[in-house]
Amino acid sequence: MSVLTRDEAQTRADLLTVLHYTVALDLTTGEDTFDSRTTIRFTARADADTFVELKPAELRAATLDGQPLDPQTLDDNRLPLTLTAGDHELTVDAAMRYSRTGEGMHRFTDPTDGETYVYTQLFLDDVQRVYAAFDQPDLKATFDVTVKAPDRWTVLANSRTTHDGHGTWTAATTPPISTYLMAVAAGPWHSVRTQHRGLPFAIHCRASLAPHLDDDAEEILDVTTRCFDRYHAKFDEPYPFDSYDQAFVPEFNAGAMENPGLVTFRDEFVYRSAVTDTERQTRAMVIAHEMAHMWFGDLVTLRWWDDIWLNESFAEYMGYQTLIEATRFTETWTEFAVARKSWGYDADQRPSTHPVAPEHVPDTAAALLNFDGISYAKGASALRQLVTWLGEKDFLAGINTHFARHRFANATLADFLDSLAAHTDRDVHAWADAWLRTTGVDTLTATTGTGPGRWTLALQHEGGRPHRITVGVYDRVLGSDRSLVLRERHETDVPGEPESHTGVRPALVVPNDQDQTYAKIRLDEHSLEITLRGLSQVPDGLTRAVLWNTLRDMVRDGDLDPFGYLATASAHLPEESDLAIVQGVLTFARGQITDRYLAPGQRAEALTLLGELCRDLMRRTEDGSQPGLRLTAVRHRISSAQRADTLLGWLAEDTVPGGPELDPELRWRILARLAVLGAVDGTAIAGELERDPSATGQEGAARCRAALPDADAKKRAWDAMFRGDELSNYLFTATAQGFWQPEQAGLTAEYVTRWFTDAPAVARRRGPAIAEAAGQWAFPAHAVEEDTLRRGRACLDSDDVTPALRRKLADQLDDLARALRVRDAG
């Protein structure tokens, strides 16, 4: 599919004003294709040649101002148009293919009850898989959408829908929106409906998940309405659409998508099994994030994809901050520090790093690669620093000016900075140059000293950004060598002069104490020693998150032995009260330290330490007072198990002694680990699938079958991923997750070499979504060897790697090289 370049988009935007789309979809024509008829009314400012995009199974007919166009002129995804100055009407009639990869119009049949659902995911350039369009964000238009659907189906769209009684649903005319934001979701949905502020609100899921949605409907709608009210308190511009639907849809590639009036979420957020309160907070944050997009992205939309941060960074920042202000989730920045910020730090230290607001994104393929930890986590961190530096009052005033100036239109970074500048004397353009146009992570290194009645603090600054930070100063509690108490917090600017303070040197000095900036932190020697000995005694959860991130960065940079990190976790996690921290530390320890940063001969010892830590956490939660902590400990004890007997006992009893009882998620987790250990076979997996035939069960079975230590099982899994095209995006990912296991390195050695030919081939054949899955989940990340690195670099040098896979491969190779350095440092 031809990508759209920025120059082409600019030329077309200079030529056209697009007024209106009429889109008629027929979803009753079969399982493989649907009918799409599009009429576009637009004006050309001059005589010129241009094109409209579509990617049909069959282009039946097209007319321009009533005159037929030759369907044979369709070149890949471009239908050429020769225009005269003035008004025009283009009609395109085509059959379009359903997707199994979450791109375009995705079709899913629920294995539980046989019901079928379809939904659109048109970001970034997948519009042309559903309807003909001038597909770029700055050619906004109003939309009229009709959908013919099977009996018993409900059709959801960007605006309120009505049914004519004969199978056709009509959506109300939308305000001007970008093409990628048009949305439809159709099927026999289970819906929970309400009204808020005079608008219809609803949540939807497939019928088989109805009991689980009903269990959480009150919580989901409470978060939704609280955030809605809080945004109205912040923003002068009211919610700009006529309804607010949230649909939890199957096999969704992203976490969610901000379609105006119809937000789509991955339906794992409809919990079938027990979850922790931190996971509920994550769901709430995604709800708040997507609602923020109704203003940041939908009302005011970027002009071109170089300004995706105007969408994602703002929604990320607003989502976290609004949860604190409006809901019971008041510690969200701790979870952001542990789970999201580390994503940004990692991405920003790879060769593929880019500015938050890059100055040149040449085409849509390049743009798609920039939806990463930099555009989300780093951008949100930059905004948090901007609010610290600018002040929230001026920041919100600038935002509201921005909305007023560009409502239902498009804007750039320069436009936004001009809106901010109208409310402050600070040089926001210089701030943006330093923070948004540069790459990499600054490092702030603390050194402390003592003198008569005084102590000093100096912050060495590696990097070019100014920082406004809070420094936390902590003392030991009298009579204790571990307990710590806050002496003071004070703000300081970096770069700046060394500070001199009266009194004795504190036990612990924490730069960036409240995590208000984006920088790696290095502690002074004395503070590092106190941290390793007394981290759990630091009184504030956000400060502990900053310290855990510091230790994580030190491991990744070869400055802290991985076993030192595990020892710190063993000492302090049993006393940790913030579940987000526990989950983040255990995930890093199990996912990176045991499988990548330690040599194979050290892995068993590390897994033993993690298993003992999880047993300790389980002993401390036997009274049932901390179910989330206990569930987290159980999950990680399962993944760290090296023998099968305990897990087989749990599975047979259908419970963990002392709880919890095994729900489907825990049963599949146990079965997957037993498959790795060779303690179950295909018959056991089939039996579990009969017990849980759901879509999640199908994924669990695929994961388990691929994890079996059997040559035939590995061949079947590999062929399913790379030889056939039948696996959906989710089943591909599940199979990949099961395939590579460090315990089975000898069995899968031949496939390490094969990945570098088979993955590029499947990426070319099946497109970006499968390419990303092949790069992220199917890459042999456990093979931390120089030969893997050499083969990977040779693959990157070839011309056969698609952009989506190339980015993932480059990142994997950088992580692999880092793991080799960590091993060498140890």
Measured CA to CA, the distance from residue 436 to residue 375 in angstroms comes to: 10
DSSP assignment letter at 557: T
Tell me which H or E stretch contains 501.
strand 499-502
**Residue among 53, 103, 251, 290 flagged as catalytic:** 290
The token pair at 557 is 């940079």
C-alpha pair distances (Å), 320 with each of 200, 381, 537, 659: 25, 11, 26, 32
**Alpha carbon 784 to chain centroid distance?**
26
In sign, the C-alpha dihedral spanning 447, 448, 451, 453 is positive
Query: Contact at 8 Å (CB) between 606 and 563?
Result: yes
3-state secondary structure of 160: coil
Instruction: For tokens 């979450």, name the residue.
Output: 102
C-alpha pair distances (Å), 748 with each of 108, 591, 632, 699, 755: 32, 19, 30, 21, 11
Measured CA to CA, the distance from residue 774 to residue 697 in angstroms comes to: 21
Measured CA to CA, the distance from residue 718 to residue 758 in angstroms comes to: 10
DSSP assignment letter at 655: B
Measured CA to CA, the distance from residue 615 to residue 600 in angstroms comes to: 23
Number of H helices, E strands in the chain: 27, 28
**Alpha carbon 313 to chain centroid distance?**
12
Give the list of residues 6+ apart from residue 480 with CB closer than 8 angstroms, or none. none
* 290 flagged as catalytic: yes
Query: Contact at 8 Å (CB) between 440 and 422?
Result: no
Measured CA to CA, the distance from residue 394 to residue 743 in angstroms comes to: 56
195 Rama sector, left if φ>0, alpha if ψ -120 to 50, beta otherwise: beta
Among 489, 508, 498, 512, residue whose Cα is nearest residue 451: 498
The token pair at 367 is 């743009």
Query: Contact at 8 Å (CB) between 401 and 423?
Result: yes
The token pair at 673 is 């680990």
**Alpha carbon 747 to chain centroid distance?**
33
Tell me which H or E stretch contains 521.
strand 519-522
Residues with catalytic function: 290
